[in-house]
Amino acid sequence: MCVERTLSDRENLSDADLVQAAQQGQHEAFETLVRRHYQMVLNTTWRYLRNQEDAWDAAQETFIKAQTALGQFKDSGHPDGFRAWLVRIAANKSLDLIRRKTRHPEVPVNLWDNGEEALPIPGPQSTEREVHLRDINSVIRQCMEQLPPDLRITLMLREINQFSYEDIAEATGVPVGTVMSRLYNARKKMRALLKQKGVSDFNL
Binding site for other proteins (CB under 8 A): 31, 34-35, 38-39, 42-43, 45-47, 52, 55-57, 59-61, 63-65, 67-68, 104, 107, 133-134, 136-138, 140-141, 144, 155-156, 158-160, 165, 177, 180-181, 183-184, 187, 190-191, 194, 199, 202, 204
Q: How far is the CB of 88 from other proteins (least distance, A)?
A: 16
Pick the closer one to other proteins by CB: 21 or 154: 154
Q: How far is the CB of 17 from other proteins (least distance, A)?
A: 20
Question: Please, how many CA atoms are within 13 Å of residue 115, restricted to the half-sphere of its CB?
Answer: 5
Pick the closer one to other proteins by CB: 3 or 103: 103
Q: How far is the CB of 79 from other proteins (least distance, A)?
A: 19
Nearest-angstrom CA–CA distance, 117 and 139: 9
Pair 161, 204: CB distance under 8 Å: no
Helices (H) and strands (E) in the chain, counts: 9, 0
Angle between helices 27-49 and 81-103 (to 10 degrees): 50
Dmax (CA) of the chain: 64
Pick the closer one to other proteins by CB: 43 or 146: 43
Pick the closer one to other proteins by CB: 9 or 11: 11
**Who's near 188: CB < 8 A, 6+ residues apart?**
none
Q: How far is the CB of 1 from other proteins (least distance, A)?
A: 28
Pick the closer one to other proteins by CB: 1 or 27: 27
Pick the closer one to other proteins by CB: 38 or 109: 38
In angstroms, what CA-CA distances link 181 with 98, 153, 176, 204?
22, 13, 9, 28
Q: How far is the CB of 197 from other proteins (least distance, A)?
A: 11
Nearest-angstrom CA–CA distance, 204 and 110: 32
Cβ atoms within 10 A of the Cβ of 189, count?
18
Q: How far is the CB of 16 from other proteins (least distance, A)?
A: 22
